[in-house]
Amino acid sequence: MSGRVRVQGQRGYLRSIERQSLVFSPDVRLVRGRLFTDRHSLAQCKRAGAPCRAVASREGGFTLLELLIVISMIGILLVLIGPAFTSLKGGTDVTSAAYTIKGVLDTARTYAKANNTYTWVGFYEEDVSSGTPGTAGTGRLVMSVVASKDGTNVYGSGTVVIDPTKLLQVGKLIKIDNIHLPLFALGTGMGDTFDARPSPSPATDANYSRFGELNGLPPNTAPLTTPHNFQYPVGNPAPAQYTFSKLLQFNPRGDSRVSGDSYDVRQVVEIGLLQTHGSATPPPRSGGGTSFVTWDGNVAAVQITGFGGSVKIYRR
């Protein structure tokens, strides 16, 4: 808005100036081109004939010492809350990995049903610190999904390596860093929490119904037997970057089966997840060997039912 502002000049007469878009409260005065909000200070200033201090040009700001103190306090706070953010990131890594695996399983099952064919999900754990793909170790989970081209189970009698000419790649190769697949102590099967999650029945069948310690030796590895495998990239069997021998199969009905001894449909199949620091895994809290171990920290278990293919994530 426009308005006229009366200004007290130096020689005692009034002059009018035109100002654009100025709105003043009763306590604001414009003197010698400057704004004042304190009437008493303004009167003292004019009587003394001293230069009048404007609101816009009042003394203030930070001194160098005050600025250094504030910066120091911010630095101390960052040091104190840093571990909290690290723990939060670790928990997020495990959760993200669990949902990534769930997405891969859902993709493989959906493809099998939609195309009336068989699909396989391959699990491989490699050394995250190695620059050479396919180096067996700890710290990086690698997953690949392939499907039968002609809709048949392409194993064949006595076949070890699935004929790559009969397979096609479904999606991209999946790699998840800072994750290890351990063999957790079995759940009680009485609830929805991590410790009470469903467990394979009977317990002696557990290592035919889960994926863990993929590079271990029997009986401390799961699945125990791996009669078949496929390679990545598909269609180029030699040389191959990865050979997947720990397999989960989906048939055209969507049922899941572990590639193992009898190829029976299991009640549940479990993939355990443990947060690592590169290739280093945290020590277990208790347990003998590696078959039934209790781990603290950021852990999760992804379970898929044999019939129906329902996937559920359990977090501690």
d(CA 34, CA 8): 11
Q: What share of the chain in percent tops pLDDT 90?
A: 35
Q: Can you read off the two tokens belonging to residue 206?
A: 């557990």
d(CA 110, CA 29): 75
pLDDT at 113: 96
Q: How confident is the model at residue 285 (pLDDT cuts 50, 70, 90)?
A: confident
- Across the chain, the runs of DSSP E, i.e. the strands, are 2-8, 14-20, 29-31, 34-36, 119-127, 139-148, 167-169, 174-180, 210-211, 230-232, 242-244, 246-250, 256-258, 268-275, 299-305, 311-315
Q: What is the mean pLDDT of residues 222-248?
A: 85
pLDDT at 203: 77
Q: Can you read off the two tokens belonging to residue 215?
A: 């590079």
Q: How confident is the model at residue 266 (pLDDT cuts 50, 70, 90)?
A: confident
Q: What is the mean pLDDT of residues 141-168?
A: 84
Is pLDDT at 182 greater than 50 in this prediction? yes
Q: How confident is the model at residue 51 (pLDDT cuts 50, 70, 90)?
A: low
> pLDDT of 195-208, one tens digit each?
899 987 777 778 88
Q: What share of the chain in percent tops pLDDT 70?
A: 71
More confident residue, 153 or 114: 114
Q: How confident is the model at residue 82 (pLDDT cuts 50, 70, 90)?
A: low
More confident residue, 3 or 125: 125
Q: How confident is the model at residue 249 (pLDDT cuts 50, 70, 90)?
A: very high
Would you kindly state where each structural domain of the chain is located, as residue ranges? 1-68, 92-315
Whole-number mean pLDDT of the chain? Answer: 78
> pLDDT of 167-177, one tens digit each?
999 999 999 99
> pLDDT of 93-147, one tens digit each?
888 999 999 999 999 999 999 999 999 999 999 999 988 889 999 999 999 999 9
d(CA 54, CA 131): 67
Q: How far is CA 173 from CA 123, 125, 146, 238, in A?
A: 11, 13, 10, 18
Write down the residue that tokens 């130096």 correspond to.
10
